Structure 1
């Protein structure tokens, strides 16, 4: 099976510091790939490069065979094929839930208002939010806001969804409902690249787990192998710390 997303030799520098160092990674269709590692290891930067929110300093990224790091690429056209969900929700506070979800399908993809609203309501119902269509973000719990953010990403029918620590801003009791949505997305065959600190969930849901350390993709493999018998001492030390904190 060919790769939907291919990252080859990607470097990214900020103010003279290399935050990504020659990253090689492939995400195949219907696969869930998780990025783990300490804060500052480069996980979120890698997602932002994949969505062209950051430009790479060296290397190539391809989406469905197209080199999207080519300076001549249509950035908006690339982003039409991707959904991204941030840890801070990023909903427009002055818009209702329905307006937040239908904005991109209508303005970017040219979908009619009637069709966009019907599809949005169908998605809201699927994820237990049918009664929140006319609510504003500040009338929702954090878990509900994050679920709306996921629905908004799905509304454009992306080939790939990028999820950046989508539970880190939530109270512990709200984490479960958001993880439930991600589990449903996997069961539906959605292709996902995500960063997470939820290690037990990562082990359950991932097809491939990648450990980043200091901007280097140090180790990757199936979750049982990486969590059960990692090759590198640095990976073992990181996972030991996770276990001691009760997160695995």
Structure 2
């Protein structure tokens, strides 16, 4: 993917991401807040008393070994998993309250998984426009116009009529991200979006994420790409055995980690040539 991705996306930033002085929301209220969140599967505790604030227009990177709870945290934040204790707030609203409209909540949160999850029987254009049309009530013509603009800015205009199995892995993941962005989400959750890609395709997907960061999209990213997390994140959380063991700026966590478990993890990553 060329380095002009930022220019391509700059004219199509979701209004909520662009509007830094949103009169309907306090600047002091984080977009996402987790308070004492606990999640178990049977006797196994997957998340332990998780507390996390994600301010507007920032990127939070979740790092840690496989099985540390990163993906589960994202699934709980999007209400795909029911928490056992604690509370989760979206723009100050307790979305884990049983009275909360979960469908309405999910309409405000975009999610991209590592397995793309594109509908194989639908074209690229139909994949991107499905949620805006069916969930958000956007007229077909308007939804398709926006989708074509997004595709054009990422060099995928000629792929609109293709089916997912005709695309490379990197192209499929870029379409998956565009599908999430097309709904103009308040919050974007990315779960290991490069894990299923060949190494040469990772860069083009990370470039899209970097563009969204530059345009002010609020994101929480679970990733094994340590160099990317160091470069793009505003805060980094190291998860270990379901606990946020350490958090701070990239300089703090990667440059001077306070916890021995963090140091051990980063040492292994560095020895493997991934940082």
Structure 1, unmatched stretches of 5+, are none
1:9 corresponds, among 12, 36, 40, to 36
* Alpha-carbon distance in 2 for matches of 1:226, 1:172: 25
1: CA distance, partners of 2:49 / 2:210:
31
Q: Confirm whether residue 88 of structure 1 aligns to residue 94 of structure 2.
A: no
Note the 1:144-223 alignment, pairs <5 A. 144-223=171-250
Aligned residue among 128, 131, 145 for 1:118: 145
Normalising by structure 2, report the TM-score.
0.90
Unmatched runs of 5 consecutive residues or more in structure 2: 1-27
Once the two structures are TM-superposed, the CA of residue 126 in structure 1 deviates from its matched residue by 1.6
**What root-mean-square deviation, in Å, do the aligned CA atoms of Structure 1 and Structure 2 show?**
0.5
Residue 90 (structure 2) aligns with: 63
Offset of residue 125 of structure 1: 1.1
User: What secondary structure sits across from 2:152 in the alignment?
Assistant: helix
Q: SS at 2:117's partner residue?
A: coil
Runs of 4+ aligned structure 1 residues displaced above 6 Å come to none
**TM-score normalised by structure 1 residue count:** 0.99
Q: Residue in 2 aligned with 1:130? A: 157
List per-residue Cα deviations over 1:12-63 (Å, max 9, x = no partner): 0002100000000010100000000000000000000000000000000000
Q: CA deviation at 1:127?
A: 1.6
Q: Shift in Å at residue 2 of structure 1?
A: 2.1
> How many residues are aligned here?
248
Indicate the SS of the match to 1:3.
coil
Paired residue secondary structure (1:34) = strand
1:237 aligns with 2:264: yes
Deviation at 1:203, TM superposition (A): 0.1
